[in-house]
Chains A and B, each alone.
Chain A
Amino acid sequence: MSEREVLELLRENARYSTDDIARMTGLDEQEVEAAIEELEATGVVRGYQAVVDWDKLEDERVRAEVELNVHLDRETGYGDIAERLARFPQVTALRLVSGDYDFDMEVEGDSIREVSQFISEKVAPVPEITQTVTHYVMTSYKENGIELGDGEDDERLSFSP
């Protein structure tokens, strides 16, 4: 059960210190460390990353959501195609989804040209892929549960009864 609690806190903020997680959960530090190790060892936690608001940076970052339709045959399943696509570092997320298309793929690059080239030269030619529809991200409002607006100031009085 302690792993569940620790996981919840890491999902909220992966930079919480072990000490602080211990204080918040009533576990001791060794228990928290053991829980994190267990989460990592079993592959429940696959990594830790920053949630970035690219609009705040000078450098351009181009992201696209790509819808992929595929044609399966006896030798090739969704998993095979996914494995092939996921190996490209440009692909930041890849999910099989229900609905009008098969894969929902997120791609990142330094320019529209780079991303377009990647789709047209590396993705579209994959024999099983029958169609790609690329949507470039124009503005992001929320990432990983975090709103990217300017936030609201705390308007509360410093003392209230």
Chain B
Amino acid sequence: MTFELADRVQTVPPSGIRRFFEIAEERDDVISLGVGEPDFATPWAARDAAIASLEQGKTSYTANRGKRELREAIADYVADRFELGYDPDEEIIVTAGASEAVDLAFRAFVDPGDTVAIAQPSYISYEPGVIFAGGEVLSVPTKQEDDFRLTVDALEDAGADEADMLVLCYPNNPTGAIMTKADLEPIADFAREHDLMVLSDEIYAELTYDGNEHTSIASLEGMRERTIVFNGFSKAHAMTGLRLGYALGPAEAIGAMNKIHQYTMLSAPTTAQHAALEALESCENDVREMVNQYDRRRQFVLSRFREIGMDVFEAKGAFYCFPEVPEGFTAEEFAEGVLREEGVAVVPGDVFGEGGEGHLRISYATGLDDLRQALARIEAFVDEHA
């Protein structure tokens, strides 16, 4: 038989990165700057706690919303780090990665025909998530001249005042842009004025540099009641494979998300919850040390791109920078060329939506030796072709 795919599945094009996978397979000396996850292993204390929980046979389901102890630890953590106050009983849900939480939110709050404005370039899952939920995507491109921050002008130009929901991801994947409190204030005003619900993906919140501390838009006046915050352990605690994230929001909203979660996921992975609890309780120094390492690599990579002569804005968050490709190339051509000829994997910016064209996402979640080597190869490619 042939399967009749659902329209909303057919509508979503295959991932733009797939083709590059195949090219990368052809060489055995590829250095990848295309990786969206830490190169560090999960801090040992967290792994050890996970192992101990397995030894003790703690392998059953947890409460739908996650272990109460973990929710309490999350509440304390976000209060301490980001001035966010959420009740562990009603306003926090632990999910299988922040990705699940984002999907739950789209399904809980987007009706067919609703418009979801997405600040782009951004993480590639939001757009399909909206479409799977039956909503319409409105791209709000950000610009290099604004350091890839979202501005009210950009929202107005895109017609986001008519939208029902706004999706933000700062610190940003793929650009490395951050939004300071001053940058967020006008966006918050805009959301209140036009009655937009805000989904704020803050998975990279711990990874900010140059003395910048992350501000959550939910901490701004009048925003808590219209915002869902997503965070998790994948990036800051290097726990991607353990699949553990969470969402914070008003009781009614988290309740709605939990309704879907309890029928689809039941509860987030139990072993990972034990690791996460330990991560919050004792791994602060590990996080600081990883941030320190990322910061050095960030400065190294930015200086190398400037030396090579590629325009790159000063990324201050996550573990990405977003240089412009030299004239005469599209991002895709450059990415393909540098992979085929030099064996360096980078992701063309177009993959991340409007505003990403002409740029490359460079992940510096890779050891310095590889970064040095990869940048030398990119330099050779640019010298040869540009």
Using a CB–CB distance below 8 Å, which chain A residues touch chain B? 9, 13, 16, 20, 22-26, 152, 154, 156-161
Known: A23-B303, A25-B296, A26-B299. A161 touches B36 (CB 8 A): yes
Bound Cα distance A12, B372 (Å): 16
Cβ A160 vs Cβ B299 within 8 A:
no
Question: What residues of chain B have their CB less than 8 Å away from a CB belonging to chain A?
Answer: 15, 17, 20-21, 24, 30, 32, 34-37, 39, 41, 123-125, 173, 296-297, 299-300, 303-304, 345, 347, 368, 372
Task: Tell whether, in the assembled complex, residue A159 and residue B20 are in contact, meaning their CB atoms are under 8 Å apart.
Answer: yes
- List A contacts of B39 (CB < 8 A): 154, 156
Chain A residues with CB under 8 Å of B35's CB are 156-160
A23 touches B300 (CB 8 A): yes
State whether A161 and B124 are in contact (beta carbons under 8 Å apart), knowing that A154-B39, A156-B37 are contacts in the complex.
yes
Rounded to whole angstroms, the CA-CA distance of A157 and B300 in the bound complex is: 23
In the complex the two chains form, what is the Cα distance from A82 to B165 in whole Å? 72
Contact with B36, one of A20, A24, A152, A160 (Cβ below 8 angstroms): A160
User: Does A160 contact B34, Cβ atoms closer than 8 Å?
Assistant: yes
Provide 23 A-B residue pairs closer than 8 Å at the C-beta atoms, listed in order of the A residue.
A9-B296, A13-B368, A20-B372, A23-B304, A24-B296, A24-B299, A26-B299, A152-B41, A154-B39, A157-B21, A157-B35, A158-B35, A158-B345, A159-B21, A159-B24, A159-B34, A159-B35, A159-B345, A159-B347, A160-B34, A161-B36, A161-B125, A161-B173
Determine the distance from Cα of A3 to Cα of B10 in the docked complex, in whole angstroms.
58
Complex Cα gap A24–B368 (Å): 10
Which chain A residue has the least Cβ–Cβ distance from B372?
A20
Q: Which residues of B contact A160 (CB under 8 A)?
A: 34-37
Q: Please tell me which one of the listed residues B21, B125, B297, B368 contacts residue A158 in the complex, with CB atoms under 8 A apart.
A: B21
Contact residues in B for A24 (Cβ distance below 8 Å): 296-297, 299-300, 368
Complex-state Cα separation, A23 to B296, whole angstroms:
8
* CB-defined contacts of A16 to chain B, threshold 8 Å: 368
> How many angstroms from the CA of A154 to the CA of B38 in the assembled complex?
11
CB-defined contacts of B347 to chain A, threshold 8 Å? 159
Most buried by B among A20, A22, A159: A159
Residues of A within 8 A of B20 (CB): 159
In the complex, how many angstroms separate the beta carbon of B308 from the nearest chain A beta carbon?
12
A22–chain B nearest beta-carbon distance, Å = 8
**With A25-B299, A159-B35, A161-B123 already in contact, 15 other A-B pairs whose C-beta atoms are closer than 8 Å:** A9-B296, A20-B300, A23-B300, A24-B296, A24-B300, A25-B296, A26-B299, A152-B41, A158-B35, A158-B345, A159-B20, A159-B32, A160-B34, A160-B37, A161-B124
